[in-house]
Amino acid sequence: MNKLQTLLTATSVVFFFACGNQQQETQDSAENEKTTIEAPVNIPFTIINSYPHDTAAFTQGLEIYKGVFIESTGLFGRSSLRKVDIKSGRISKNQKMDSVIFAEGVTVFNDTIYQLSWENHLIFMYEVNNFKSLGKLPWSGEGWGITHDSISLIISEGSDKLYFVEPGTLKPRKVVSVKDQFGAVNNLNELEYIDGFIYANRWQYDYIVKIDPNSGFVVGTINLQDFLQRNSKTDLGYLKKAGSTAEQSGAVLNGIAYNKNDKTIFITGKLWPEVFEIKLQ
């Protein structure tokens, strides 16, 4: 090979790698563009109404089924599964749980109630009309929140993960990590699936996040800072009583239920005196 051939070959190699690197940089840039997470939008809302809520209910899960609330309440020795009239707050059915159970989120899928427990690693199943036990299933992690789409139960366990599992068996289908522009979003608690998105209370935060279940990105937030204090019609002095459950355990925001007919959302909290009906704008 003469010097001219050698120079041409070397130039071709340099050009090849330069083009390759440029193409790789373009691909990397495109991928970074795809994975860049935009800041979630603020979702405005209007308060439609408020309704009485049992101030002894440490609300962990809330669901609407055929015009009534299905509510799960927590704490050891006080956990229950309830059927509650929405407007009056009257409890028509109250099934208390064993004192060693700390109940958490609840959802209804195909006329079966699925109720989580916190550290007991169990999910309880009931027939929705009469609360007849349909057995229980082992769950490997903690139980925090639960909802469902058209095919899967969706479970949170206090981290940034959402677990999509098969109803009746809990066989895993996929796991989605939830994140916003700052990174992982943990403390995901009570869940509600609404029009293709997952809405979640975030424990110890005064807002609800709206999550894209495909990407895991938080696409919106409902700001509820000081919501109870600003909107309650009730004397809230009991929440600050020294030594009370509210003072020790926190009467924090928790509970999301969707009214498909009116396209409104019911929100409440642990030991709150009211359930509020809001409409997103």
Task: Give the mean pLDDT of 202-207.
Answer: 94
Q: What is the pLDDT of residue 202?
A: 96
State the chain's mean pLDDT as an integer.
89
Band of the pLDDT at 35, cuts 50, 70, 90?
low
Of the listed ranges 14-23, 116-125, 127-136, 192-201, the least confidently predicted one is 14-23
Q: What is the pLDDT of residue 262?
A: 94
- Statement: residue 12 has pLDDT above 70: no
- Statement: residue 49 has pLDDT above 90: yes
Is the distance from CB of 110 to CB of 167 less than 8 angstroms?
yes
Task: Give the mean pLDDT of 55-79.
Answer: 97
Q: Which of 251, 148, 146, 221 is nearest to 189 (CA)?
A: 146
Q: Which two tokens stand for residue 244?
A: 């009370």
103 bridge partner residues: 117
Q: What is the pLDDT of residue 17?
A: 34
Angle at 47 between CA 204 and CA 208, to 5 degrees: 25
Q: How far is CA 243 from CA 53, 74, 199, 239, 249, in A?
A: 22, 18, 32, 10, 10
Q: What is the pLDDT of residue 249?
A: 77
Side chain identity at residue 218, one-letter code: V
Band of the pLDDT at 246, cuts 50, 70, 90?
confident
Band of the pLDDT at 240, cuts 50, 70, 90?
confident
More confident: 1 or 57: 57
Task: Give the mean pLDDT of 122-141.
Answer: 96
Q: How far is CA 59 from CA 190, 250, 271, in A?
A: 9, 11, 7
**Contacts of the segment 155-159: beta carbons below 8 A, 24+ positions apart:** 155/105, 155/116, 155/191, 156/105, 156/188, 156/189, 156/191, 156/200, 158/186, 158/187, 158/188, 158/189, 158/203, 159/186, 159/188
Is the distance from CB of 189 to CB of 144 less than 8 angstroms?
yes
Q: 41-280 architecture in CATH?
A: 6 Propeller (2.120)
Give the span between the Cα atoms of 140 and 52, in whole angstroms.
36
Q: Give residue limits of the domains in the chain.
A: 1-30, 41-280
Band of the pLDDT at 6, cuts 50, 70, 90?
very low
Task: Give the mean pLDDT of 212-227.
Answer: 97
- Statement: residue 48 has pLDDT above 60: yes
- Statement: residue 5 has pLDDT above 70: no
Band of the pLDDT at 243, cuts 50, 70, 90?
confident
Q: Which residues, including other chains, have CB under 8 Å from residue 119's CB and lie 6 or more apart? A: 102, 142
Q: What is the pLDDT of residue 25?
A: 42
Q: What is the pLDDT of residue 1?
A: 47
Give the span between the Cα atoms of 168 and 29, in whole angstroms.
43
- Find the DSSP H helices in the chain: 3-35, 227-231, 245-249
Task: Give the mean pLDDT of 44-65.
Answer: 97
Q: How far is CA 242 from CA 226, 253, 271, 273, in A?
A: 20, 20, 15, 18
Q: In percent, how much of the chain has pLDDT > 70?
A: 88
- Statement: residue 20 has pLDDT above 70: no
